[in-house]
Amino acid sequence: MNTTPLIFDPETTALLVIDMQRDFCDAGGYAAQAGLDVGNLSSVIDRIAILLQAARSSGMRVVHTREGHLPDLSDCPPKKLLRSRQAGAEIGSRGPLGRLLVRGEYGHDIIDALKPLEHEDVIDKPGYGAFHRTSLESILAQRIETLIICGVTTEVCVHSTLREAIDRGFACVTVRDGCAASNPALQEAALAMIAVEGGIFGRVASTAEIVRGIRT
């Protein structure tokens, strides 16, 4: 395990906040309709707010992502649509917050507590990974070398994005207490995968460790 203290250069580091949307964090959204524990997913909001404050104070780049599809669902793979239907939360169907996982709907947007600032990038992604069919790579290529990754869900969108980032050569730090799995039993397993083979997918650190690294 790498125990070297973390130090982040705000010029070459970005905070990547994954899918902190009403559809995943609100009781009326997609995740709740699919039977996921929204209370567990929303439990990381306060810690992500701390990360955002530290990143913004340092001048670090902040990027938010939102999973969702075009209103006509033309960018939603049929098998993904079928799976959502079988889970009881069909993408595009109407829920309390609007059509589930559809861009422009109230549920698709990021929760008020973590609302992006006007100058911060917001990446709309049709898949689980944030690089798939998005402009994220070109945005980060401007000089970003390190990513601090937080958000939901650990085992799906966080892990998918992490793996895509590693394959693209970014150094990555996943926030242990700043991400949540849909099932708490999956959280530790998903984090443990990162450390195999000497940290094949980067490092895992707490919010407190990362804030110290930003302020150093």
Active-site residues, by number, are 19, 125, 157
Torsion angles phi and psi, residue 215, rounded to 5: -80, -15
Neighbouring C-beta atoms of residue 111, cutoff 10 Å: 17
> Quick one: CA dihedral 161, 167, 171, 174, positive or negative?
positive
Torsion angles phi and psi, residue 119, rounded to 5: -90, -5
Q: Is 166 exposed, middle or buried (0-12, 13-18, 19+ CB in 10 A)?
A: middle
Distances (CA, A) of 69 to 91, 127, 149, 215: 8, 9, 22, 37
State how far the Cα of 171 lies from the Cα of 203, in Å rounded to an integer: 9
Name residues whose C-beta falls within 8 Å of residue 50's C-beta, 6 or more positions apart in sequence. 207, 211
Torsion angles phi and psi, residue 148, rounded to 5: -100, 120
